[in-house]
Structure 1
Amino acid sequence: MATLDCRSSRPDPGQMLGWLPRLRRYARVLRRNREDADDLVQDTLERAWSRMGYWQGVGDMRTWLFSIMHNLHVDALRRGRLDTVDLDGQAPEVPVAAAQAEWLALRDLQRALLALPAEQREVLLLVALDGMAYAEIAQTLGIPAGTVMSRLSRGRERLRQLMSHEVRRPKS
C-alpha cells in the first residue's frame, strides 16, 4: 500500500491512490452526485498523472491533488458545463445504517451544510473532514490564509445558527 507521507522528496505515482477516498469524499461534496463526483476524481487523477513532473516543486501531494480537483471544479462551473441535481424532495444518502435519531441529525446537518455559501462549506469540510491545515487549504483554494480563517469562522457560526434553528423548529 502506498504511504500517505505528504512531504516525500520524490514523486510516487502510487501515492495518489492513497488519497483516493478523501478525493472521492471531497468530490461528492463539490458535485453532490456520485457519477459527477467519480468523473471529477478521474479527471483529477488524470491531470495529476499527466503532470507528475510538476509535483516535485510542490512537495505536498495532498494539497496538490485537492488544488487540481478544486480548479477543475471551478473551471467546470465557469464554463457552465456542470450538471446540477436538484436535491429538493430527494431523501439524502446516508453512508451508514443509523438509528432514526442519528439519521434525523445527519439529515439536519446535511441541510445546514447545503444552506452555507459554497466558499464557507468548502473550507469547513476541508478542515473538519480532511484535517487540512489553514495554509494547505489556502494553497489548495488559491486564497490567503486569512480568508480561510475568515470563511471558516463565518461558516462555523452560520452552521451553529442553522443547526440551532433545526433543533428548535416545530415538528410537522
Structure 2
Amino acid sequence: MHTPDPVPFRQKLVRRARRLGMPPPDAEDAAQEVLLRLMLAQRRAPISRPEHYAQTILRNLARARGRAAPPPEQIGENDGRLIPQPIARLSLAELTAALDTLPPEQSCILRLILSGRESPAEIAQMLDLPSGTVMSRLARARASLRARFDMPERGSLHELL
C-alpha cells in the first residue's frame, strides 16, 4: 500500500531538482536535504511560505553542487583533478616505506592524518600532547618526506599530509 507523502510539495522539489539537471537519485537526495533544512529553519523562526523557501534552498543547493564538481563531460580518464598530485607522484608502497623511516612520534602523527584525523588539536588531544608539539612534529615529518622525494618546500605533499 502506498502511503501519502507527508510533505505535499516534496514531489515538486524532486521534479524541480530534475529540471536543474540532477539525476533521479540525486534529485531525491536533494529534496530530502531541502526538507531537512526547511525543518531546521522552521525551528528557529516561523516561515510564512515554506514551499517558496524550499524552492530557494533547492536552487542554492543545486548551484553549490554545480560549483563543487566539474561537469562529467569535462572529466578525462587521466584528469589530475581526480587523483591528488602526491599520490600520482608517490606510490602507496613508497609512502608507507617512507613513513616507516621517520621517527615513531612523527610517523604516528602522519598516519593519524592519513586515517582521516584533520585537526592537529584533535590529534594533540588524542595523544595527550600540546598542539605546538604536534604541529612541530608534523612540520618536521613533512620536511623529511619532501626531502626524501625531492619535492618542493611548499608542494602538494603539504596539502596531502
- State the TM-score bracket (shorter-chain normalisation): 0.3 to 0.5
Q: Point out the structure with max Rg over C-alpha.
A: 2
TM-score of the pair, normalised by structure 1: 0.33
Higher relative contact order (CA 8 A, sep 6+): 1
